[in-house]
Copies of this chain bind each other. A is one copy, B any other.
Amino acid sequence: MTKNIKLDNDTTIGNKDFNIMAGPCAVESEEQMDRIGKFLSSIGIKILRGGAFKPRTNPNTFQGLEYDGLKILKAIKEKYGLLVVSEIMDPRDVELGCEYIDIIQIGSRNMQNFALLKEVGSVKKPVLLKRGMSATIEEWLMAAEYIRLEGNEDIILCERGIRTFSDYTRNTLDLVSVPIIKNLSEYPIIIDPSHGTGRRELIIPATKAALAIGADGIIVEVHPEPSKALSDGDQSLDFDGFKVLVDEIEKLKVHFY
């Protein structure tokens, strides 16, 4: 049985519903986040994603607004009654981060950053644990175990594509990991169709498959103007595209729960 992760605003993850977490790759400005927060809350989305600390391959690219980004996230979530999921990369930021965000995201690059896992294991916030780019199922569940052993059992797993030879998509989305995780653990599992494919036109089909294969939701990139996004624009939906996604999933999901 999948355990339920209860969040503040009557939201539960893992409870026979399909949660859609959405927002930009990176928090870019208060104005940007206000547009997105307003839009998402207007169509019933409850969890806003947005990166304040950005783990970028190249140190010379935009690294996120950092603490200022956290403050923006908090302001927007309070204004629109949203919950916020955002990545923390440094164990020294965990305690402060907990004051601003509702779900702590551990990114793929840090799936085996054991110092960080132990730190988020010792706080009382749900953790979204992304699968490492080349992590086996066992390594992923063992990373969750590092968190759980410190006392935090509110863990949501996130499949975001694995690294393979295949070059048409950014990663190879391992959708079959969903029923595997369901068989081996009690953790809810969601899909990241943005990183998992890297291509906007594949997000809706991948989300339908995620629903059908038993995932508890998705985390997806939405941006008011994807072509102007500071990162990951190619894998972000615009507002109209996102509305199509939500509508299609709403219609389908009654047949799966």
Contact = CB atoms under 8 A, between A and B. Distances in A.
Contact of A165 (B164, B202, B205): B164
Interface residues of A, number: 59
Interface string A246-257: 000001100100
A9 interface: no
B165 A134 contact: yes
Contacts of A168: 136-138, 180
Interface string A127-140: 00000011011110
A179 B196 contact: no
A82 interface: no
Contacts of A112: 55, 57, 109-110
Contact of A162 (B149, B172, B210, B251): B172
A187 interface: no
Within the oligomer, what is the number of copies of this chain? 4
Given A168-B180, A172-B162, A209 B202 contact: no
A174 B172 CA distance: 7
B136 A166 contact: yes
Contacts of A212: 205, 208-209, 211-213, 252
Interface in A142-190: 142, 145-146, 149, 162-169, 172-176, 178-180, 183
